[in-house]
Chains A and B, each alone.
Chain A
């Protein structure tokens, strides 16, 4: 565990590098590197093969580039933000157990059933 977590623990290095990359977005340097993709995949509990990591790094960079289009959007007058939107503390009818479980891939005794987690 220490072996695999050490690079992450020391991530001040690579992370700082990423942060630089982010600020220089559009300047041609890689916005998302393989380490970042692996980190996100791990948080999402998705296992990626090495070549997938490279593919996703490229794709992430492309996707992020699309957002640059937002820089072109002119300033607009916008609606004032809402505040204090609340509901009264009154019980509303919800879903019956069968309805709640209707889309579940697997169930057991009224529970959603999933793989083991730790």
Chain B
């Protein structure tokens, strides 16, 4: 007998309310395209779910370049929610995901409650091939985008309450960290009927080009992601988990399996890999493998056993 008794019967499945995942590792919206782009690098069926690039009612061209800039241990981006629009998504992108049997979460964004509702109604026609809808109430990039809703509990409540009425598809609300008190926003999402919350989205930030004496990003402000934001994200996941009863999906700078374990210990039921996929497209699988190994070695039979009480 070795010193460490490894478990062979661990259960990686997680339930986020009505959302069932084969394991807790998901790919974050905006870092995995519409899934297919990643296939040479990652077996999408091996991970919990893919959250596709945020979809709006109409196609969006995105922001003028430069759209990205590297900062110490971080990535600043102002893509501007470029996407093909819901119509093209349903005809050109979703059929492939469906054919492959990939667990697909559709991230959506809108400029009004009405737009969120319409998007949810349209997506409901494909409810068989959509595992969940993730509502972006937090993306800080587009001036007229989701910022206003996610900034306040009232705004968050308003959007969520309306979308849960129009669709049977489970709703995940993706929270912005650019708020004074994350717990009140998390509670508002829960009160409005959200099935789960995911956090954090990127942190509003900027960089300046000192030679040209102007902001570096075409959009002036961008969202910061990557290892630099992990400690902030972890703190917010900890707080949110203790403020609500619905499941929390941890996001923010997760780059290694150890990071994933930290988020799960903080109270997340699942995690999303974002910037790490951009750095190394196969990251999610490595993180899943490392997490599985850790759970076996330490004797954690299921994901939520990792929670710190």
Say if A and B assemble together: no
Residues of chain A at the chain B interface (Cβ within 8 Å): none
